[in-house]
Amino acid sequence: MSDYKPYDPYQKSDYKNLRLHPLKIYLTLLLAGVTMLFLGMTGSYIYQRVVMDIEPIALPITFVLNTIFLLASSFTFLQVKKAYLSDNTAAYKRYLFFTLVLTFLFIVGQSFAWADMVNRSLLPSSGPGVGYIYAIAILHLIHVLAGLPFFGVFLYNAVKRMKEPVSVLIYFSDPEKKLRLRLLEVYWHYLDILWIILVLFFTFNYLIQF
């Protein structure tokens, strides 16, 4: 008898083969590039502080408070993953929505922080120290905005397709969707950690006088 077995697209061994999936490679390269970008900018800031003796600027308290929204979005995203793995459709949709709402609150909060800087007459042209804060915060926000369409796709598919038991089963059994959700989770937690590091970086630079 032949040892031939029908191909099963959901068998675990196939999912393990996705360790070298192109999307994982793309995300690794992206995060490496983003890390180098922010390391270069923060390193340049420190260099100019030491060499040019630029004056450090106190971050608006709104920047610090906005960190709460990002931390909360990381928590809700963990609940998204938990709901996905437990096939909990209602919780999956709910926490996806909560994550999007918290992200929008972060974006709105960032605009208030920049408005506060403008009210304090701290404009990008005010000096290198202020310019770095604007540039780094805007770059981080751009990467946050870049993740929103992917959230939107997941939420749209969840609302439109996860209605019947069969469609729910297919959705939760798809290893490709599981992989994409995992990659989005890694990207999101990375942005959260990056923002915390940046806030601490500028705070310590303000408190420490060279």
Residue matched to tokens 């006088």? 209
End-to-end Cα, the chain, rounded Å: 79
Whether the Cβ atoms of residue 65 and residue 110 lie closer than 8 Å to each other: no
Helix (H, G, I), strand (E, B) or coil at 167: helix
Helix (H, G, I), strand (E, B) or coil at 21: coil
pLDDT digits (tens, 9 = 90+) for 67-94: 999 999 999 999 998 988 888 888 988 9
Residue range 149-172: average pLDDT? Answer: 77
Mean pLDDT score of the chain: 84
Q: What is the pTM of this model?
A: 0.83
112 vs 169, more confident: 112
- From the list 94, 68, 70, 100, the residue with the least C-alpha distance to 82 is 94
Cα 120 from Cα 61, distance rounded (Å): 13
pLDDT score of 149 more than 50: yes
Q: Using 50, 70 and 90 to split pLDDT, how confident is the model at 21?
A: confident
Cα 25 from Cα 32, distance rounded (Å): 11
12 vs 60, more confident: 60
- From the list 40, 51, 57, the residue with the least C-alpha distance to 203 is 57
Which pairs count as long-range contacts for 15-20, CB under 8 Å and 24+ apart, including other chains? 15/175, 15/178, 15/179, 18/175, 18/179
Domains and CATH numbers, the chain: 21-207 (1.20.120.80)
Burial class (CB in 10 A: 0-12, 13-18, 19+), 90: exposed
Say what the pLDDT of residue 19 is: 56
Residue range 98-118: average pLDDT? Answer: 93
189's enclosing H/E stretch is helix 175-207
Cα 76 from Cα 80, distance rounded (Å): 6
- From the list 199, 66, 64, 41, the residue with the least C-alpha distance to 128 is 41
Tokens of 147: 């993740």
